[in-house]
Amino acid sequence: MNAIFQRRSIRKYEDKPVPDEAVRQILRAGMAAPSAGNAQEWEFILCRDKEKMAKIMEMHEYAFALKTAPLAVLVCGNAQREVYPGEDWWVQDCAAATQNMLVEAADLGIGSLWLGIHPIEKRIRMMREIFRLPEHIHPFSLVALGYASKEKEPIDRYEPGWVHEEQF
């Protein structure tokens, strides 16, 4: 539970790779997420190539964290794995997988950042091009991973006014 509150968006990383074992564990956490009809409509593309990251930073105005991130994982939905075709549950499946990855990273002492891709058309197009995605693979989020250059405080955003009993 602590990892949920410790997780913060990290936008500056140390020049130090994420160990393979930790990467596997973070991916395992992603794949442990709940999914509609247990369809597990996700795919994960690992990117360590700084040239690709530079291209992404050119077109994504909020991706400067990639300047220092040693690793980014593109989380994609695979429409061919849908059990309810055309209903696009992959969006929610990928969101659950992304969040699981961030929390697992925090638990391992690894910093992370969720970079939004879906539903911004320009970003989707660029990801398709850079990572050579076929039609049925939908880029959803890019997760930057690495060791934080500076720790951030855990956060509690509990807002009692946003909780409603029985009706709004």
Ligand X SMILES: Cc1cc2nc3c(=O)[nH]c(=O)nc-3n(C[C@H](O)[C@H](O)[C@H](O)COP(=O)(O)O)c2cc1C
Which residues form the interface with ligand X (CB under 6 A)?
8-9, 11, 62, 65, 113-116, 155
Give the nearest residue (CB) to ligand X.
116
User: Cβ of residue 165: shortest distance to ligand X, in angstroms?
Assistant: 27
Whichever of 110 and 113 has its CB closer to ligand X, that residue is 113
Asked, as a colleague might, if the bond just before 70 is cis with ω within 30 of 0, I would say no
**Per-position b or e across 103-130, b if 16+ CB within 10 A of its CB:** bbbbbbebbbbbbebbeeeebbebbbeb
Q: For residue 42, what are the β-bridge partners?
A: 77
Q: Which residues contact 54 (CB under 8 A, 6 or more apart)?
A: 66
User: Cβ of residue 63: shortest distance to ligand X, in angstroms?
Assistant: 6
User: Cβ of residue 167: shortest distance to ligand X, in angstroms?
Assistant: 28
Whichever of 36 and 65 has its CB closer to ligand X, that residue is 65
Whichever of 113 and 137 has its CB closer to ligand X, that residue is 113
